[in-house]
Amino acid sequence: MPSNRVLRVRAEGASAADLADGVRRLQSELGVDPAFPAEVEEAAARAASAPRLPDLDRTDLPFVTIDPEGARDLDQALHIERDGAGYLVHYAIADVAAFVEPGGPVDREAHRRGESLYGADAKVPLHPTAISEDAASLLPGQVRPALLWSIRLDAKGERTDVVVERARVRSTAQHSYVEAQAMVDAGGDLPVWLTLLGEVGRLRLAREAARGGVSLPLPEQEIDVEDGRWSLTYRRQSDVEEWNAQISLLTGFAAASLMVYARVGLLRTLPPPDPRDVQRLHRTARALEIAWPAEMLYPEFVRSLDADRPAHAAMLVACTRLLRGSGYVAFDGEVPAQPLHAALAAEYAHCTAPLRRLADRYVGEVCVALCAGEEVPGWVREALPGLPETMAKAARRASSYERGILDLLEATVLRPEIGRTFDGVVIDLRSDGRGTVMLAEPAVEAPITAPADGAPLPLGEAVTVRLAAADPATRSVAFTRVEEAGTAARRDHPHP
């Protein structure tokens, strides 16, 4: 399967203008609106003009940010230095509480939204842009209030100390993931920050493997917008993205540790997998002819899979069943009976994206109070019990929005191609005999039915499929298997 490919779609109608109506219908169905009420915008503008700056000045640290190309809502800025045989990681997180009054218009609207929704250029932000993309964003060259995490690591990348405090910071440069990865790929001398990020990132990945953590390396569908045209992309995380993600995870582990010790806070949890589900995955591996020795633990097995191999891609999709059931749990006085995030094999908290996710602001406020030896603010404690349900609703809405945008684009791109055949891989099967096919190009995952002769769909195998339906109004696409893979290109582009 391809990755990191910008697709050249043939559909002439796949423009932003053609898709705008469909996006508005989706937003109406989900009850979301990118625009904010006037009183919220006015409150945000007032707060943005007079931020509460802390006394501690750490603008001496040359922070950098690493984000997707063109991002403006910059939650995190990074600085790493050597500390004897280990490292000192400084991670500055946007201080949203410096701009949002508890119980005020911006706060109430943020609780209603829960998190930012993303879909190409159809973003629905959590906070007005006066805050999220300007005054609170850690944009380069700007002095900003932040929650400054200082985390010490030993030579093996293990955390030895942590403190978080309010401070003024200033980013010196904004880098994109693509730009940073290009520097790594080019070789030669790297900037100190990138060299140290690579060292710490690799150490933390090794620690993840040692403790039994796991992530699924599936390529993601992404929407690419260029010159008013939308297309679909398969992409995989680059090394720089993985290293940067490890810094965020490191901070989340530190936050969870602080809160569990103090018996107050908000954790991100995932229950341990049901043994029956693991046994089912073993049967799937046998059906796909993938070796899974009995002594090999699940995380090690996942790390052995190669998403570029069709059978392995299908296996990775099957493994997502073990990641269902994640959520939040609030506590004040007693630690939850099940505090772990099973996929990370540790206690964990969301705390590094407060511009985009409501829960992170509250976790940050708990941790900064604990490190200062102060009482957790009353407005934080009062809100904690209701946050898990607020975030659960927001997560369902975000999932529906992202999937809806992708479904809309898939249907719009493919509408002129009804009847055409494509090569793909069957990555999932259901009990009714239908399944999911992942096309090589365009980057589409869609329902597939077996041919009329009743032959079953071959999980994990390459197939040729015919586009049976593509309806932007219902945001639906459907394929039918027709013949062996490899013949589609020959029929659509026959030799003279």
Q: Are residues 484 and 347 in the same domain?
A: no
Q: Which amino acid is at 360?
A: D
At 19, the pLDDT band (50, 70, 90 cuts) reads confident
Q: Are residues 432 and 376 in the same domain?
A: no
pLDDT tens, residue by residue, 121-139 = 678 999 999 999 999 999 9
Domain termination site, one of 379, 409, 439: 409
Q: Which amino acid is at 55?
A: D
At 49, the pLDDT band (50, 70, 90 cuts) reads very high
Bridge partners, 476 (sequence order): 471
**Backbone conformation region of residue 289, classed left if phi is above 0, alpha if psi is from -120 to 50, else beta:** left
CA distance linking residue 301 with residue 297, whole number of Å: 6
At 322, the pLDDT band (50, 70, 90 cuts) reads confident
Q: Are residues 255 and 345 in the same domain?
A: yes
Q: What is the CATH number of the domain that holds 487?
A: 2.40.50.140
Q: Are residues 135 and 246 in the same domain?
A: yes
Alpha carbons within 13 A on the beta-carbon side of 436: 14
Kindly tell me if the per-residue pLDDT of 441 is higher than 50.
yes
Q: Are residues 192 and 333 in the same domain?
A: yes
Domain termination site, one of 409, 437, 452: 409
Section 85-91 average pLDDT = 98
Q: Are residues 266 and 279 in the same domain?
A: no
Q: Which of 475, 350, 409, 394 is nearest to 124 (CA)?
A: 394
Kindly tell me if the per-residue pLDDT of 172 is higher than 70.
yes
Domain of residue 286, residue span = 275-321
Q: Are residues 204 and 216 in the same domain?
A: yes
pLDDT tens, residue by residue, 189-218 = 999 999 999 999 999 999 999 999 988 877
Q: Which residues contact 458 (CB under 8 A, 6 or more apart)?
A: 426
Domain termination site, one of 409, 428, 446: 409
CA distance linking residue 253 with residue 267, whole number of Å: 10
The answer to whether the pTM exceeds 0.85 is yes
Name the domain count of the chain.
3
pLDDT tens, residue by residue, 274-310 = 888 888 899 889 888 899 998 999 999 999 998 888 8
Average model confidence (pLDDT) across the chain? 89
User: Quick one: pLDDT at residue 17?
Assistant: 64
Q: Are residues 344 and 450 in the same domain?
A: no
Q: Are residues 23 and 84 in the same domain?
A: yes
Q: Which residue has the higher pLDDT, 51 or 252?
A: 252
Long-range contacts of 189-193 (CB under 8 A, 24+ apart): 193/62, 193/64, 193/78, 193/79, 193/80
Q: Where are the beta strands (DSSP E) in 289-370?
A: 327-332, 340-341, 346-347
Kindly tell me if the per-residue pLDDT of 224 is higher than 80.
no
Q: Are residues 217 and 256 in the same domain?
A: yes
H-helix or E-strand containing 263?
none
Q: Are residues 174 and 317 in the same domain?
A: no
Kindly tell me if the per-residue pLDDT of 477 is higher than 50.
yes
Q: Are residues 163 and 302 in the same domain?
A: no
Kindly tell me if the per-residue pLDDT of 9 is higher than 80.
no
User: Quick one: pLDDT at residue 5?
Assistant: 27
